[in-house]
């Protein structure tokens, strides 16, 4: 299963932690310490091979074969993306202090994590961003560094065996003291505390997303010779390191935007304790309007004595105090990745590890001092589970729409004062409606929208702009004055729909329909005994939701509102990662369903949807079976004269032939919200027939003349054919007859066997 394969990856990641001090991209960043190699490198040629597992291939995995050490190794890996958009928002300042935004193209699909087939403790962390493979392999407790051989015309690479025992780092510690942490957050310890337990060692959270905004200080900009591209390259390498440290618990750190202090530092950076509150104040004034983030960190090219960073504790999702400071005076991105991961841990609420904290090694990621271990301790897991699991902002996967932009012509978004915005100059060359100045071209009436046609004209009133999706949806039509389609409307909640269901939030919800969506068209609702047996358990296989991170048992009256239970399942569906199908059989009854547990980022396929019928005049709402009359509305079928339905705005949507608002007079249908269908539209002209110029109806006057001419022509042809037939018959010998072309020909039939005969020839 794909889910099992990915779970194995996360387990293997923790086994790589001892090797993460080694340089991943030696050609990208010259380290302040050097990885020692054991002997000369081997020359290898990575060869692409077919992925052995169909599930892995579907999930985006790919495999390469490498021959070294006297044997062949198969490396399977998958892309790890930590950017939301290929066009990363980068903010800089000119010498006058004016803020500029650029969106350079950034390759976001060239970082990979994987493993070596046949070795349960193997790990691969590679990149192809800079040509060829660069990165680290761990096989049989031995670490290797791989990088392209230059020059090479045959895709040759050099593979070095690393001597990790000679790696040395200078001692550093976090700027937060235990007293300061205690002052920011006090973890309540009681009899149920899990700090003494080690059960979190194999625990795996599901999909936490931290949206990160980064600020680079002026010294780092100068260090990279005022080259913004080099700064971006450094940041991407650091992001790879951050995600390596946090991936074992499926914490995904996504970079939403980058600000570079190109015109000097606006605040002093020499005192780490004064810098943290000053940066938080600065970001509140300057950064909040640029990038929507969960936390913001400042990278400073400065050594704060022996302190590597500082951050406020438990402040993720807090726009005021969700910030941290990270020293990037070290010139190794893995070291910096460790620093940032540690400080992000503080933002997530984690304290420094105490005497009762363990991760299976001498120290863990949240140790106050930096060392060679990056595993999270049981104490860190406790905080992550007990507190951060409730932070809503880190459960939502970032979307491109999350990235705010400066209001400027050319960013592709129509903003205040603009008629249109076609984007870059190249994009504008291909746009027939909008000019680079963000104004419409001559004679153009619109540029975008479902009611704007290809000739840059607004569609006539009554043109369908959004079709009906299902029995609980409603169509919309253009109004003739706006380029936008009306709001997407749907049938009022509580309206009956096929399958003994009710419309709710644009869906027709029923147990049978739910089973068919998950298990195929032959599936159907299982016996009520399945619902009673499973949904009263209060576990991930059957429940009525969550309260305080615990499953809730269904009351007998609510069993049909818990988790879906199905029967007549012929074939198992292919589902996405992390979905699990389970089958329960008792008393000759079969129950099929899917499970779900708290922390998963994907939609729950198995929860009974609101609006599902759970009895006569009863529906499910929030996992409770309630009386259907709880839907109170001023709009009813009687309001619509029984010739329409009510929409979600409690207005009538009339059937074709009746006119809104109350469907009492004849018309074309529709509603006051979604518009009404109009007359037929001339597609080429873009105008309706009623607006088309009237033409003399010449055809009507010519029709009698045309009919007479056709009749005379037919009679003339028949007369000539009859005469020729008589002449041919007179010249033919007696007893012979001319056969028509089809006469005497044997018809050809192909016997088709019924299905039973196919099976039994």
Look at residue 76 and give its three-state secondary structure.
strand
Residue of 117, 23, 17 lying closest to 77 (CA atoms)? 117
Is 352 labeled as ligand-binding?
A: yes
- Band (pLDDT 50/70/90 cuts) for residue 733 is very low
What is the distance between the alpha carbons of residues 199 and 220, in angstroms, rounded to a whole number?
Answer: 42
Phi and psi dihedrals of 546, rounded to 5?
Answer: -125, 145
Place of tokens 């050097």: 34
pLDDT digits (tens, 9 = 90+) for 406-428: 567 887 778 888 999 998 888 89
Dihedral of CA atoms 546, 547, 552, 557 in degrees, nearest 10, equals -100
Phi and psi dihedrals of 496, rounded to 5?
Answer: -65, 145
pLDDT digits (tens, 9 = 90+) for 656-669: 999 999 999 999 99
pLDDT of residue 98: 84
pTM of the model: 0.52
Mean pLDDT of 297-319: 88
Those residues with Cβ within 8 angstroms of residue 726's Cβ, 6 or more apart along the chain or in another chain: none
Burial of 173 (0-12, 13-18, 19+ CB in 10 A): middle
Question: Which range among 216-220, 475-479, 574-578 shows the weakest confidence by mean pLDDT?
Answer: 574-578
Compute and round to an integer the Cα radius of gyration of the chain: 35
Name the β-bridge partners of 583: 592
pLDDT at 529 over 90: yes
CATH of domain 195-402: 3.40.390.10
Higher model confidence: residue 744 or residue 480?
Answer: 480
Question: Which range among 621-625, 717-721, 734-738 shows the weakest confidence by mean pLDDT?
Answer: 734-738
pLDDT at 680 over 50: no
pLDDT at 208 over 70: yes
Catalytic residues: 343
pLDDT of residue 188: 35
Q: Before 337, cis peptide (omega within 30)? A: no
In the chain, domain spans:
2-82+105-166, 195-402, 407-448, 496-630
> What is the pLDDT of the chain when averaged over all its residues?
77
pLDDT digits (tens, 9 = 90+) for 239-273: 877 887 787 777 888 888 999 999 999 999 999 99
What is the residue-wise DSSP string for 465-487?
A: EE---STTB--EE--SS-SSPPP
Long-range contacts of 450-454 (CB under 8 A, 24+ apart): 450/478, 450/483, 450/484, 450/485, 451/478, 451/479, 451/482, 451/483, 451/484, 451/485, 452/483, 453/686
Question: Which range among 301-310, 675-684, 722-731 shows the weakest confidence by mean pLDDT?
Answer: 722-731
Is 342 labeled as ligand-binding?
A: yes
Question: Which range among 156-165, 299-308, 707-716 shows the weakest confidence by mean pLDDT?
Answer: 707-716
pLDDT of residue 434: 95
- Band (pLDDT 50/70/90 cuts) for residue 310 is very high
Mean pLDDT of 496-517: 87
pLDDT of residue 556: 95
pLDDT digits (tens, 9 = 90+) for 738-752: 333 333 333 333 333
pLDDT of residue 20: 40
Is 395 labeled as ligand-binding?
A: no
Look at residue 232 and give its three-state secondary structure.
helix
pLDDT at 26 over 80: no
What is the distance between the alpha carbons of residues 21 and 676, in angstroms, rounded to a whole number?
Answer: 67
């Amino acid at each position: 299963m794909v889910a099992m394969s990915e779970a194995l990856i996360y387990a293997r990641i923790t086994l790589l932690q001892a090797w993460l001090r080694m340089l991943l991209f030696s050609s990208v960043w010259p380290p302040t310490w050097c990885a020692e190699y054991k002997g000369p490198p081997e020359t290898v040629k990575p060869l692409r091979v077919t992925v052995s597992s169909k599930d892995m291939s579907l999930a985006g995995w790919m495999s390469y074969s490498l021959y070294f050490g006297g044997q062949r190794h198969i490396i399977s890996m998958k892309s790890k993306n930590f950017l939301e958009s290929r066009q990363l928002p980068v903010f800089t300042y000119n010498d006058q202090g004016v803020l500029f935004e650029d969106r350079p193209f950034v390759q976001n699909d060239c970082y990979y994590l994987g493993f070596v087939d046949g070795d349960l403790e193997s790990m691969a962390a590679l990149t192809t961003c800079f040509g060829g493979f660069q990165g680290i392999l761990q096989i049989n407790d031995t670490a290797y560094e791989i990088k392209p051989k230059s020059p090479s015309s045959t895709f040759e690479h050099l593979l070095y065996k690393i001597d990790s025992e000679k790696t040395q780092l200078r001692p550093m510690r976090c700027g937060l003291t235990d007293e300061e942490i205690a002052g920011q957050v006090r973890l309540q310890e009681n009899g149920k505390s899990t700090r003494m337990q080690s059960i979190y060692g194999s625990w795996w959270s599901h999909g936490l997303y931290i949206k990160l905004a980064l600020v680079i200080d002026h010294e780092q900009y100068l260090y990279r010779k005022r080259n913004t591209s080099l700064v971006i390259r450094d940041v991407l390498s650091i992001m790879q390191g951050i995600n390596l440290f946090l991936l074992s618990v499926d914490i995904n750190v996504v970079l939403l935007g980058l600000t570079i202090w190109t015109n000097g530092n606006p605040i002093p950076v020499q005192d780490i304790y004064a810098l943290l509150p000053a940066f938080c104040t600065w970001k509140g004034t300057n950064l909040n309007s640029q990038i929507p983030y969960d936390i913001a960190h400042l990278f400073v090219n400065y050594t704060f004595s022996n302190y590597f960073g500082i951050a406020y504790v438990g402040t993720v999702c807090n726009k005021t105090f969700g910030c941290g400071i990270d020293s990037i005076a070290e010139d190794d991105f893995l070291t910096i990745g460790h620093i940032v991961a540690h400080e992000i841990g503080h933002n997530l609420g984690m304290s420094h590890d105490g005497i009762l904290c363990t991760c299976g090694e001498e120290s863990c990621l949240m140790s106050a001092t930096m060392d060679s271990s990056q595993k999270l301790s049981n104490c860190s897991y406790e905080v992550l589970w007990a507190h951060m699991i409730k932070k809503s902002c880190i459960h939502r996967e970032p979307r491109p729409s999350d990235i705010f932009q400066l209001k400027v012509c050319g960013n592709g978004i129509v903003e205040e004062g603009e008629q249109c915005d076609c984007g870059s100059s190249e994009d504008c060359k291909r746009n027939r409606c909008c000019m680079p100045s963000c104004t419409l071209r001559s004679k153009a009436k619109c540029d975008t929208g479902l009611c704007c046609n290809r000739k840059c004209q607004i569609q006539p009133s009554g043109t369908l702009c959004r079709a009906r999706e299902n029995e609980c949806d409603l169509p919309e039509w253009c109004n003739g004055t706006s380029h936008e389609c009306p709001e997407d409307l749907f049938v009022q909640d509580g309206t009956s729909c096929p399958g003994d269901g009710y419309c709710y939030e644009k869906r027709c919800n029923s147990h049978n329909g739910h089973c068919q969506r998950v298990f195929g068209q032959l599936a159907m609702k299982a016996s009520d005994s399945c619902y009673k047996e499973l949904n009263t358990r209060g576990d991930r296989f059957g429940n009525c939701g969550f309260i305080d991170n615990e499953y809730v048992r269904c009351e007998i009256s609510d069993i049909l509102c818990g988790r879906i239970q199905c029967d007549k399942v012929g074939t198992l569906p292919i589902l996405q990662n992390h979905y699990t199908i389970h089958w329960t059989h008792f008393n000759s009854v079969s129950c099929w369903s899917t499970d779900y547990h708290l922390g998963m980022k994907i939609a729950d396929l198995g929860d009974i949807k609101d609006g599902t019928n759970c009895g006569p005049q009863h529906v499910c709402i929030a996992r409770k079976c309630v009386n259907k009359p709880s839907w109170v509305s001023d709009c009813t079928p009687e309001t619509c004269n029984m010739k329409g339905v009510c929409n979600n705005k409690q207005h009538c949507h009339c059937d074709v032939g009746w006119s809104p608002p109350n469907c009492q007079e004849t018309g074309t249908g529709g509603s006051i919200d979604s518009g009404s269908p109009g007359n037929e539209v001339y597609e080429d002209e873009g105008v309706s027939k009623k607006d088309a110029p009237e033409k003399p109806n010449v055809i009507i006057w010519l029709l009698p003349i045309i009919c007479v001419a056709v009749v005379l022509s037919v009679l003339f042809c028949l007369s000539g054919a009859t005469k020729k037939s008589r002449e041919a018959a007179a010249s033919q010998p007696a007893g012979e007859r001319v056969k028509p072309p089809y006469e005497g020909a044997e018809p050809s039939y192909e016997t088709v066997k019924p299905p039973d005969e196919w099976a039994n020839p």
